[in-house]
Amino acid sequence: MKHALPALLATLAAAVAGAQDWPSFRGPSASGVALGHKTPLTWDAPKGLGLAWKTEIPGLAVSSPIVSGDTVFVTTAVSSDPNAKFRHGLYGDVEPSPDVTKHSWRLLALDKKTGRVRWERVAHEGVPRTKRHPKSSQASCTPVTNGQVVVAWFGSEGLYAYDMKGTQLWKQDLGKVDAGWFYDPDYEWGAASSPIIYKDLVIVQADRQRDSFIAAYRLKDGSQAWRTAREEIPSWSTPTIYQGPPRDELVTQATKFTRAYDPLTGKELWRLGPNSEITTPTPILADGLVLITNGYRGIQPIYAVRPGGSGDLTLKEGVRSSEFIAWSTDRGGPYIPTPIVYDGLLYVVTNNGVFSAYVAKTGERVHQGRVKDGITAFSASPVAADGKIYLAGEDGDVFVMKAGRTPELLATNPVGEVLMATPAISDGLVIVRGLKHLFAFKAP
């Protein structure tokens, strides 16, 4: 036992040291939850209240920040058109941005304590291979890191890996990732699914107009480990890894089917439908379940899936559960923001500000109302810590909700910029990305 104790203590120390990393879109395992630190309730960025630091980020991007140790990483795309337009809010236009001038795609590393830019690397320069949605950017995919390698995916402009000091390790051209309106290929909207890391692989879901695929690349050199074709139309959802009994599963969603794969081989394990016409939210994990949500035209489902299934798990009409579907509903799924599970409750915010809470194990809805009176647009996903849920509204305020069966609005915190990206939380800091700056807020 005495020989095992040092190893155990080292393991615990490592776990504590890395507990506040936020290594990918929505943090650890895409949970959106940070534990163990007091986080701020109120701030006012224009007045400098509660502001730890503020750093200007060049260009335009709606990708989210990630954190590894004492470093924050963000991506951006810098256009050579000084008048390039961005439109936020609730509207139904599908006309892409006309900005196809020369761009510079970049990865930046910032000091978490001060916001100082440690290094900035240009991954690629050139004319974009596809246009972008007017409410999106040429850098919409959030980077990912395992603490040794950080990987940025810029869609049609390629996949890039760097070490923590900014040395480029490798790059991969994945071809033109034309993720646009499937009714008219001329409407190009750009990629937004973020890469994820599983063991020694980085995995990318590339659903596009033709020849969609999911693939894994080795972190050490970028070589392809496997690639699986997908009979799918464009989607914008980031995949998730379930790790647990009876096996690890790589879960993806798209319009035709939600699918699970063996993450080491790319072999399809099961599929489930139907989904809405456009799928964006990331599958999330809770209490041994995989929660699938989407909410555009047609069905707006929520599925609670038990891992371990095989084949087609699609329910018969009128049936709400089965051996591998713990519960489901045809209505309630969000269009863009990924939901969050916190202390056993599933919280869902729609793009027009309806906020709902469900018991994650059973699907019982225990709350529904608006984040605030009136209609507020949301694209960022909720994150949670310290008994609070943070909701970044597109108009520039972060709303803080008290978690629980009867959520209530505790604070409305001005940031002063359009907010499209999902915040990160690390060591008590709430790191918020606006269209022009990266902000860090802290408790008194």
State pTM to two decimals. 0.95
Inter-residue contact 223 to 217 (CB < 8 Å): yes
pLDDT given for residue 82 in this prediction? 85
139 token code pair: 């850098």
**CA distances for 260 relative to 50, 291, 342, angstroms:** 43, 12, 24
289 vs 324: CA distance, rounded Å: 9
279 vs 242: CA distance, rounded Å: 19
111 vs 76: CA distance, rounded Å: 17
280 token code pair: 């964006």
Inter-residue contact 197 to 144 (CB < 8 Å): yes
pLDDT given for residue 375 in this prediction? 87
What contacts 145, CB < 8 A, 6 or more positions away?
23, 24, 66, 68, 73, 151, 164, 197
pLDDT given for residue 18 in this prediction? 47
Q: Which residues of the chain have pLDDT under 50?
A: 1-19
What contacts 292, CB < 8 A, 6 or more positions away?
251, 253, 258, 272, 275, 283, 301, 302, 303, 305
Strand partners, 168: 162
Count Cβ atoms within 10 A of the Cβ of residue 17 and give its class: 0-12 exposed, 13-18 middle, 19 or more buried.
exposed
Inter-residue contact 232 to 205 (CB < 8 Å): no
240 vs 297: CA distance, rounded Å: 24
Select 20-441's CATH number: 3.30.365.10, 3.40.920.10, 3.40.50.150, 2.130.10.10: 2.130.10.10
Count Cβ atoms within 10 A of the Cβ of residue 108 and give its class: 0-12 exposed, 13-18 middle, 19 or more buried.
buried
pLDDT given for residue 399 in this prediction? 98
pLDDT given for residue 7 in this prediction? 40
Structure confidence by residue, pLDDT tens digits, 270-317: 999 999 999 999 999 999 999 999 999 999 999 999 999 999 999 999
